Chain A
Amino acid sequence: MKWLNYRFVIFVLVFIAGVALSVPSLLNLSFGPKITLGLDLQGGLHMLLGVDTKKAVASKIKSIAAAIKYYAEDNDILMDELRVNDNGISFKLLDSDDAPKIEEFLQQQKGLVVKKDGLKYTIALTPQEVKSIKEYAIKQAVDTIRNRLDQFGLAEPTVAKQGKDKILVELPGIKTPEQEQRVRKLIAKAAHLQLMAVDEARQARADQMSPEEAAEYGDIILKDRNGRKYLVKEIPILDGSMITDARVAFDQNNQPVIDFTLNSQGAKIFADFTAKNVGKRLAIVLDNVVYSAPVIRERIGGGSGQISGGFSVQEAHDVAIALRSGALLAPVYMEEKRSIGPSLGADSVRASMIALMSGFVLVVLFMILYYGIAGVIADIALIANLFLIIGIMALFGATLTLPGMAGIVLTVGMAVDANVIINERIRELLRSGVSVRKAIEQGYKNAMSAILDANITTLIAAIVLYAYGTGPIKGFAITMSIGILASMLTAIVGTHGIYEALMDKIERSKNYNLWFGIKV
C-alpha cells in the first residue's frame, strides 16, 4: 500500500481542501468563503480623509460659552463682554455677589482652566481636554461618516480610523462620477445646525457693518442663500448636538422641508428662549448659511422645528441624513483619493488572468520538457499550490488586489523553484550511481536547508512589506507570503509523497530519461 504514505495523504487532503475552498470564489457561488476583490479590481472609491481637529476645539469652546450664557440668564447673573476666541472665553461680571454662583458652575465643567482678574474671567481648556476633544472628534467623525454612508444605502462601505488622525473610507459600490460626487458631498457636510438670535437692535445696519464692528457687539454676519445679510448673536441658542431626529417633509406649497426634533434639554432651552423673545426673529443656520429667519410668534414647546429654504428633494434627503447622523465636530478634508471605474477594474482582472494563464502554461510545459515525469509531478504541486493560495485567501476573507494578482503570477514562476532544487539534487545523486530510492530520499534531505533558507528570507521581505505597506501593497505581501508557505507544503511534502507512492514503478522501469529527463 505505497499510496498510503503519510506525505501523499496529507497532499491529497490539502489538494482537496484547496479546491473545495477556492471553488466558491472561482465559480462565484452564492455560498462558501469567497475572496473579496479589491477596489482596484472591482471599481469603487477609496479615500483617506484628514480631520481638522482644531475646529473641533474651537466649537467646543463656543458651546461652553453658550452654556455659560444660558446659565447666567437662567440665574439672573449679569455679565458683560462675553467673548469667544480660538483659545478660550472671557467675560466680566457686573455684580461681585454673583461670583460664587458662577464659579461654582464653572467648577462643575470639566477640563477648564479659569483665571480671575477682579471681576474679569478668562477661561481656557486644559491640554488634556484639548487632546481628548481632538481624539473624540476623530472617533465621532468615523462614527458619523459610517452612519451617513449606511443610511445612504451603499453596499459594504468601510469606514475606519487609520493611523493617528486619518479616516479610511472605501466604497466598492460607487459606479459613476456623479454618484461619487454626491457621496463626497454627503461625507463632507458639516451638518452643523445652529439656532441663533437675530440682533434686532442693529439688524438694520447689517449691510454696512464690517465683521470687526459686528464682533464688538458679540455678533457675526451671516448670509442666506440669496446673499441677504443677517446680523446674529455669535453664541448660538442651541446647536445640532441636541437634535434627536430629522426627516424630509413637504410644506403647503409641496416644497421639501426638513422637520427636526430636539432632545429634552434642547426643547427646554428652545421653549425658554422663544417665550422671552416673542416678536423677534430666530435664524435657522445650517453650516453657516441662514436658511430661514422666522419671527417668533409665541413660545414654542414640544421641541420641534423646521428648516425650509428651497431644497431639492435629493438635497433635503441628504441634509436630513446628515442631521440625523449628527454634525461633524471637525471638518474633514481629502488627503488621498483613488477612484477606479468598474470597466478599468474588469480590464485589470482580464489582463492579469491572461498573464496568469499564459505564464502558467509556459512553466508547466517547460518543466515537463526539462524533467519528464518529475516535471509533471512538480506541475501537479504547482496546480495544488494555486488552488491552495486561492482557498486560503478565501478562508481568511483576504482581499485580492491588482498587485496581489501580480503576486500570484510571480508565485507561479517561483513555486517550482523548490522542485527544481530537489530534482537537480536527485539528478546529481543518480549520476553518481546511487539507487533511485536512495537518490530521492537523499535528494529531499540535501535540498532542504537551501529551500528553507531561501524561502524564509523571501518571507522576511514579504512580512516587512506587509508591515509597512498600505492597501494594495499589503495585498501583494499577503499573496506572496501565502504563496511561499503553500509552495513549501506542496513542493516539499506533496511531491515527496507522490514519489513514495510511485517508488516501485520507478525502480522497476530504470528509465531515468523518462522519469528525470537525464541519461545515466
Chain B
Amino acid sequence: MEFFKADKIYDFMGKAKYFMAVSALLVIGSWALLFIKGLNFGIDFAGGTIVQVRYDKPVEISKIRQVLKKSAIFKDASVTYFGSDNEIVIRLKTSTKNLKQDIGDLARKALAGTGNYEIRRVDMVGPKVGGELREKGLMATVIAILAILIYVSIRFEWRFALASVLALVHDVSIAMGAISLFSIPVNLDILAAILTLLGYSLNDTIIVFDRIREGIIESTKLRSLNEVINEAVTKTLSRTVLTSLTTFFVVLTLYLFGGEIIRGFSFTLLIGIIVGTYSSIFIASPLLTILGFDLEKYRKKLAEKRKRQQEKEKMRAMYEQGMV
C-alpha cells in the first residue's frame, strides 16, 4: 500500500505563504487567548486541594453543593462530575498545613449523609510547592529548548536550529492556545505532554531537515533551495504521515480509554501531534528561506567537511599500511 505517488514532487514552497499566513493567525490567536483568557492553573502549580469522591449510585451535584455550603471550608468549593455521574471532584483553592486533620478528613465529615461514598483521591499542594513546581516547569521547558538548539546547531547549521525551534514555538503556542480555549487545568501531566510534544514535533522536523541536508550534498545540478526543499518534504511525506498516524491512533486510544485522569495529557498530545505534523511539513522548511539560508555557502561548507573527512581517511589508510 502507498499513500503518495512515488514519482511526483509536490510544490510545497509555492504555497508556503498561505500556510505561513494560516500559522501566523493561529499563533497570534493562541497568544491572544493566553493573554486575555489565560491558563487555568491546576493545583500542582497554583496550590489547592482536589477531593475525588465516588458514590455507589448517581448523585445530584446541586445536592452536594448545598451540603458543602454549610461548611466554612467548603463554601467556595467547586464541584463537578468526573467521568461519570457516580463520581465527583471537589476543588478548593486552599490547602491545609495541618497533618493531624487535613481537608480530606474534613471532606469526609462534611459529606456525611450524602450517600454511600468512597474518597478515592485527595491531592493537596501547598502554595510554596506550587510556586516551586511552576518555576521548575518553566526552567525545564527553557533548558530543553536551549539544549535542542545547541544540538541541532552542531549537527546542522544555526539556521536549521533556529527554524526548528521557531517551529517548536509555533507548535507549543497553538497547543497552549487549545489548552486555554478549553480551560484544561494545567497540571504536571500537561507539562509532561508539552515536553513530549517538544520532542515529538522536533523529531518530525529533524527528519525533514536531514533530507534537505542530504539533498544539498547529493544534488550536483545547480538547483534552487525551493526545489531541494520540495523534494525533501515530498520524499519524507509518507514517513511523516505514517508515523503521525500510528502515534495519533495510540494517543487517541489513550484519550478514549485512558480514563478521566489522563484525559488532559492525551488531549494535549492529540492537538500536539496534529500541529507538529502540519508544522514539520508546511512551516519548518519555509522558515529556512525566511531566515536567509544560503544554499551555495552551505554546500561549500559541507563539501569542505567531506573533503577533510576523506583526507583524514586517506591518512589513516596510509598510516595503517605503514606508508607514513
Q: Indicate if the CB atoms of A460 and B144 lie closer than 8 Å.
A: yes
- Quick one: closest A residue to B208, CB to CB? A450
Instruction: Tell me the B residues contacting A by CB distance below 8 Å.
Output: 1-2, 6, 52, 54, 95-102, 104-105, 108, 118-126, 128-129, 133, 136-137, 139-140, 143-144, 147-148, 151-152, 155, 188-189, 191-192, 195-196, 198-200, 202-204, 206-207, 210-211, 214, 235-236, 238-239, 242-243, 245-251, 253-254, 256-259, 261-262, 265-266, 269
If over half of A's interface residues share one DSSP class (helix, strand or loop), that class is named, otherwise mixed; here it is: helix
- Given contacts A359-B253, A473-B188, whether A454 and B198 have CB atoms under 8 Å apart is no
Residues on the B chain within 8 Å of A455, using CB: 203
With A335-B128, A460-B148 in contact, do A420 and B52 touch (Cβ < 8 Å)?
A: no
Given contacts A450-B210, A460-B151, whether A406 and B254 have CB atoms under 8 Å apart is yes
Q: How many A-B residue pairs have CB under 8 A?
A: 252
| Structural contact, A403 and B155, CB atoms closer than 8 A | no
Pair B123/A338 contact, Cβ less than 8 Å: yes
Is A127 an interface residue when CB atoms closer than 8 A count as contact? Answer: no
**Chain B residue with minimal CB distance to A333?**
B97
CB distance from A20 to the nearest CB of B (A): 26
> Per-residue 0/1 for A404-444: is the Cβ within 8 Å of any B Cβ (1 yes, 0 no)?
00100110111011001100100110010000000000000
Interface residues of A in 68-82 (CB under 8 A from B): none
A472 to chain B: which residues have CB within 8 Å? Answer: 188-189
- Nearest opposing residue in chain A for B132, CB measure: A163
Task: Please give the distance in Å from B100's CB to the nearest CB on chain A.
Answer: 5
| Cβ A421 vs Cβ B125 within 8 A | no
CA distance A341 to B96 in the complex (A): 20
Q: Is there an interface contact between B151 and A457, defined as CB atoms closer than 8 Å?
A: yes
Most chain A C-beta atoms within 10 Å of own C-beta, residue among B136, B196, B214? B196
Chain A residues positioned under 8 Å from B253 (CB to CB): 354-355, 358-359, 362, 409
Task: Return chain A residues, CB-CB under 8 Å to B148.
Answer: 457, 460-461
- Segment touching B, from A278-286, A366-374, A495-503: A366-374
Report the Cα distance A472→B123, complex, angstroms: 14
In the complex the two chains form, what is the Cα distance from A340 to B118 in whole Å? 11
Q: Does A187 reach chain B (CB closer than 8 Å)?
A: yes
Q: Is the CB of A413 within 8 A of B140?
A: no
Output the nearest chain B residue to A476 by Cβ-Cβ distance. B192
Interface pair B203/A354, CB less than 8 Å apart: no
Identify the closest chain B residue to A332 (Cβ): B99
Check if A366 sits within 8 Å of B120, measured CB to CB.
no
B294 to chain A, nearest CB (A): 22
Assembly CA distance A449 to B192 (angstroms): 27
Cβ contacts under 8 Å, A336 to chain B = 124-126, 129
Can you list 15 pairs linking A and B with CB atoms under 8 Å apart?
Answer: A351-B259, A366-B249, A370-B1, A402-B262, A409-B254, A417-B203, A417-B246, A454-B207, A455-B203, A457-B203, A461-B148, A461-B199, A468-B140, A470-B136, A473-B191
A177/B192 in contact, CB under 8 A = no
The smallest beta-carbon distance between A487 and chain B, in angstroms, is 12
Interface residues of A in 435-482 (CB under 8 A from B): 446, 449-450, 453-462, 464-465, 467-473, 476, 480
Q: Which residue of the partner chain B has the closest CB to A52?
A: B97
Q: Is A381 an interface residue (CB 8 A)?
A: no
* Neighbour of A341 across the interface among B121, B189, B251, CB < 8 A: B121
Complex CA distance for A352 and B248, rounded to whole angstroms? 16
* Interface residue? A337 (CB, 8 A): yes
Indicate whether A352 sits within 8 Å of B258 (C-beta atoms), given known contacts A335-B126, A406-B266. yes
Query: Which of A115-123, A342-350, A386-394 forms part of the interface with chain B?
Result: A342-350
User: Which one of A177, A406, A468 contacts B136 once the chains associate, using CB atoms below 8 Å?
Assistant: A468
A453/B196 in contact, CB under 8 A: no
Q: Choose among B104, B151, B207 the residue with the greatest number of A CB atoms under 10 Å from its CB.
A: B207
Q: Is the Cβ of A450 less than 8 Å from the Cβ of B104?
A: no
Report the bound CA distance from A11 to B245 in whole Å: 27
Q: Are A461 and B191 interface neighbours, CB within 8 A?
A: no
Chain B residues near A22: list those with CB within 8 A.
none
Q: Which of B100, B124, B137, B203 contacts A337 (CB 8 A)?
A: B124
Q: A4 in the interface, Cβ–Cβ < 8 Å?
A: no
* Contact A406 B258, CB 8 Å, known A453-B155, A473-B188: yes
Residue A303 interfacial (CB < 8 Å): no
Is A181 interfacial (CB-CB < 8 Å)?
yes
Residues of B near A334 (CB, < 8 A) are 95-99, 102, 124, 126
A173 contacts chain B at the CB level, 8 A cutoff = no
Within 8 A of B (CB), among A302-350: 332-341, 343-344, 347-348
Smallest CB-CB A-B distances: 5 pairs: A413-B247, A359-B250, A413-B250, A461-B199, A188-B99
Closest to A49 in B: B99
CA distance A466 to B178 in the complex (A): 26
A247-286 interface bits toward B, Cβ cutoff 8 Å, 1 = contact, 0 = none = 0000000000000000000000000000000000000000
Task: Answer whether residue A184 sits at the interface, using C-beta atoms and an 8 A cutoff.
Answer: yes
Within 8 Å by CB of A458, from B52, B120, B200, lies B200
State the CA gap A50–B99 with chains docked (Å): 11
Query: For the complex, is A380 an interface residue (Cβ under 8 Å from B)?
Result: no
Contact assessment for B100 and A188 in the assembled complex, using a CB-CB cutoff below 8 Å: yes
Contact A351 B258 (CB under 8 A): yes
State whether A403 touches B189 (Cβ < 8 A). Answer: yes
Q: Pick the contact of A354 from B108, B136, B140, B257 — CB < 8 Å? A: B257
**Complex contact A424–B238 (CB within 8 A):** yes
Partner pick for A468 among B118, B143, B214, B251, CB 8 A cutoff: B143
Inter-subunit contact A416/B246 (CB<8 Å): yes
B261 and A468 form a contact (CB under 8 A): no
In the complex, the chain A residue whose C-beta lies closest to that of B97 is A333
Known: A352-B258, A406-B265, A414-B200. Contact between A450 and B122, CB under 8 A? no
